[in-house]
Amino acid sequence: MTATTEINNIISKENLVYKKTDVLLDNEMHYCPGCTHGVIHKVIAEVIEEMDIQDKTIGVSPVGCSVLAYNYLDIDWQQAAHGRAPALATATSRLMPDKYVFTYQGDGDLASIGCAEIMHACNRGENIVVVFVNNAIYGMTGGQMAPTTLEGQVTATSPYGRDCATTGFPMKMSEMVSLLPGTRFVTRQSAETAGAVRKLKKAIRKGFENTREKKGLSFIEIVGTCSSGWKLSPTQSNEWMKENMFPYYPLGTLKDE
Amino acid sequence: MAKFKGAIVVDTEKCKGCGLCVVSCPTAVIELARGVNGKGYHYAHMANPDACIGCSSCGLVCPDTVITVYRAKAS
């Protein structure tokens, strides 16, 4: 048997172990090559498929690169004004308590302009899931400094590196919201390896299960990469993230009640 | 010898050639092609198909979900 026929024999329906979930639409993602958003979209879609909640899930997309998330996940979506996704999600979950409402926000959206909204939504303990993608930069607008940008990190608006004396320190959002009594589950994950993706999937599933049990707000931070903003290749970005982001934004679950 | 034989199918036209699957593969099966797809990206392909064990690592880390993974017991 030649190698090609052997491969053709393996490629059959009964041997299928991993394929694109049907919750993800066939539209080609507009994200740059290697963008963590793609992985996170996929993981959310897989969790929705596994829990069979496709017709009961409402996503709230932010302003940022992931503003077009409604093109990729086959669920109901709303698009919020910049930073106001938790406010919109609050209204949605209160009006439709049987739905699974989640917001999908980047660090520019959640930690900067939407800082007030997320703090108060967490403090009220709304029954929603917050997916927070932290890549330490404003990706869509061209790589400007974000509140989560690391000290000394070079961006378009901090060409000599972030100077904490004038611009403050990188914000640790997960640590901040974990102190609020309204949050039930606060975790920080990443998505650079297969193991990390599996852990992230568990965390997102736990978030949606908390929504089902009406437990309150689940805050899932994902430390991600922005290879275009960081001016690195996707694989170099992952290495840079491990070296620089993980020491300041340590992975793990901060709160699970 | 590995207990399982695997194979992947890459949707080459949708692949953006980021190379994350290449570094995630534990058995160094995947490489970026010399040729390019319609968008000009060096797409991923199975350069060393005999070593594939069908672990799905490449599929899990692929941001554009272009990889389908198959696995069969080794004969």
What's the gap in Å between the CA of A71 and the closest CA on chain B? 13
Q: CB contact, 8 Å: A100 with chain B?
A: no
Looking at residue B1, what is its pLDDT?
Answer: 63
Quick one: fold of A22-256?
Answer: Rossmann fold (3.40.50)
What's the gap in Å between the CA of B49 and the closest CA on chain A? 8
Looking at residue A13, what is its pLDDT?
Answer: 86
Looking at residue B34, what is its pLDDT?
Answer: 94
Query: In chain A, whose CA is at the least distance from the CA of B48?
Result: A3
Looking at residue A8, what is its pLDDT?
Answer: 83
Say whether A194 and B57 touch across the interface (CB within 8 A). yes
Nearest-by-Cβ selection for A10 from B16, B19, B70:
B70
Nearest-by-Cβ selection for B23 from A17, A21, A235:
A235
The structural domains of chain B, ordered by start, are 4-73 (3.30.70.20)
Does B2 score more than 90 pLDDT? no
Higher pLDDT, A3 or A170: A170
Looking at residue A1, what is its pLDDT?
Answer: 56
Query: In chain A, whose CA is at the least distance from the CA of B57?
Result: A194
CA distance A90 to A116: 14
Query: In chain B, whose CA is at the least distance from the CA of A201?
Result: B60
Model confidence at A254, pLDDT cuts 50, 70, 90, reads very high
Looking at residue B3, what is its pLDDT?
Answer: 85
CA distance A251 to A256: 14
Percentage of chain A lying above the pLDDT 90 cut: 93
A29: which DSSP letter?
P
Does A82 score more than 70 pLDDT? yes
What's the gap in Å between the CA of A180 and the closest CA on chain B? 33
What's the gap in Å between the CA of B33 and the closest CA on chain A? 15
Token code pair at residue A107: 């660090």
Q: For B40-63, what is each residue's pLDDT tens digit?
A: 999 999 999 989 999 999 999 999
Q: For A95-110, what is each residue's pLDDT tens digit?
A: 999 999 999 999 999 9
Q: CB contact, 8 Å: A194 with chain B?
A: yes
Does B9 score more than 90 pLDDT? yes
Considering chain A, what is the average pLDDT of its residues? 93
Say whether B20 and A34 touch across the interface (CB within 8 A). yes
Does A189 score more than 60 pLDDT? yes
Q: ipTM of this predicted complex? A: 0.93
Which stretches of chain A are assigned E, i.e. beta strand?
16-18, 57-61, 76-79, 100-106, 129-134, 183-190, 217-223, 252-256
Contacts of A250 (CB under 8 A, 6+ apart): A188
Looking at residue B33, what is its pLDDT?
Answer: 93
Token code pair at residue A18: 């991993």
Show residues of chain B in contact with A11, CB under 8 Å. 7, 9, 70
* Domain range annotation of chain A: 22-256
